[in-house]
Amino acid sequence: MSILVVGSVALDSVKTPFGNAPNALGGSGTYFSVSASFFTKVRLVAVVGSDFPPEHIKLLEKRKIDISGLKKVAGKTFRWKGEYGFDLNNAKTLDTQLNVFAQFKPEIPPNYADSEYVFLANIDPELQLDVLKQVKRPRLVACDTMNFWISSKKAALKKTLKHVDILVINEAEVRQLADETNLVKAARCIRSWGPKSLVVKRGEYGVLLFGGGQVFGAPAYPLEKIFDPTGAGDTFAGGFMGYLAKCGSLADADVRRAIIMGSVMASFDVEDFSLNRLVRLKQGEISRRFKEFKTLTHFDVI
């Protein structure tokens, strides 16, 4: 089953305590697509400028991502500049240049309209809603956002959320969005606006799912070397949605496994800058780490 994703395709300049990567491939749509492409077919809707390097297009094609919805227009590609200190959980945004995204109106190619799974990656919430208006009735709509949009377009975001089944969002942004410090209360508040489930990304502390009748927690995979956390959230979402689309079920147990698969994919992403680790990743490595998560989280009640 195919997943339609709309998000940013970017050139990121990232600095971490372990090095820096100027003008590297990034973007919420990019990380999501590459991650989900390990599980199912992905259709990407985004825009890049005339400065977008052809080798990045080749990378997406190599992952068999359908890029007929990726527009190339005159102008500069979206650029994000961020820095991480020793606390790798929090990115400090130094600069955001929307560039070609400022005028972007997503057009869903006719062959994308029947997508059963839709992921609205982190972009302007008005564009996210535009996309939903152009698709037939999807089976599952998930969405991400960030502080940039919560502070500048909260009303538009709340409008989009009415049509969203699962909101996948960072812990600090849950609090900011709900204007509530307690995570359980904040999750309840946001779920009353539309999303049936909330997946809270907590960086190196893992993920919490508030959904249906369950609350489920997963740790992050304990890694000795983390180089660049950029894209971990989108890579998580790609593994999560990719797994759900592949198994075709939304039963509680499958959603739990999808949370673990998202965590597996995110753990690979942070092992290198940009998408470098994901590009080298092999299916065998994914299944091995998925099994390791079982050992990591299993305990017996005696």
* Sole binder of ligand AMP in the list 122, 128, 197, 263 (CB under 6 A): 122
Q: How many residues bind ligand AMP (CB under 6 A)?
A: 18
Cα(240)–Cα(262) distance, integer angstroms: 4
Which one of 26-34, 133-141, 161-169, 246-254 is the stretch in contact with ligand AMP (CB under 6 A)? 26-34
Q: Is 27 in the site for ligand AMP (CB under 6 A)?
A: yes
User: What is the DSSP annotation of 66-116?
Assistant: EEEEEEEESSPPEEEEEEE-S-TT-EEEEEEE-GGGGG------GGGTT-S
Contact 132, 141 (CB under 8 A): yes
* Residue 11: strand pairing partners: 25, 79
Q: Vertex 261, ends 228 and 78: CA angle to 5°?
A: 45
Residue 197 carries which side chain, given as an amino acid letter? S
Give the nearer residue to ligand AMP in terms of CB position, either 71 or 139.
Answer: 71
In terms of Cβ atoms closer than 10 Å to its own Cβ (0-12, 13-18, 19+), residue 119 is buried
* Sole binder of ligand AMP in the list 26, 106, 195, 262 (CB under 6 A): 26
Q: Is 84 in the site for ligand AMP (CB under 6 A)?
A: no
* Sole binder of ligand AMP in the list 39, 52, 80, 117 (CB under 6 A): 80
* Sole binder of ligand AMP in the list 106, 233, 239, 242 (CB under 6 A): 233
Contact 40, 3 (CB under 8 A): yes
Tokens standing for residue 241: 């949605």
Which one of 179-187, 217-225, 230-238, 276-284 is the stretch in contact with ligand AMP (CB under 6 A)? 230-238
Cα(275)–Cα(56) distance, integer angstroms: 10
* Sole binder of ligand AMP in the list 234, 245, 255, 264 (CB under 6 A): 234
* Sole binder of ligand AMP in the list 203, 231, 238, 242 (CB under 6 A): 231
Cα(83)–Cα(261) distance, integer angstroms: 27
**What single-letter DSSP state applies at residue 219?**
P
Helix axes 283-297, 252-269, angle to 10 degrees: 120
Strand-pair category, 197-201 with 166-170: parallel
* Sole binder of ligand AMP in the list 134, 135, 148, 296 (CB under 6 A): 148
**Footprint of ligand AMP on residues 88-117 (CB under 6 A)?**
96
Which one of 61-69, 103-111, 206-214, 224-232 is the stretch in contact with ligand AMP (CB under 6 A)? 224-232
Give the nearer residue to ligand AMP in terms of CB position, either 94 or 251.
Answer: 94
Q: Which residue is nearest to ligand AMP (CB)?
A: 26
**What single-letter DSSP state applies at residue 93?**
E
**Footprint of ligand AMP on residues 4-23 (CB under 6 A)?**
8, 10, 12
Q: Is 49 in the site for ligand AMP (CB under 6 A)?
A: no
Q: Vertex 202, ends 154 and 26: CA angle to 5°?
A: 70
Give the nearer residue to ligand AMP in terms of CB position, either 18 or 291.
Answer: 18
* Residue 170: strand pairing partners: 201
* Site for ligand AMP, rule CB under 6 A: 8, 10, 12, 26-28, 31, 80, 96, 122-123, 146, 148, 230-234
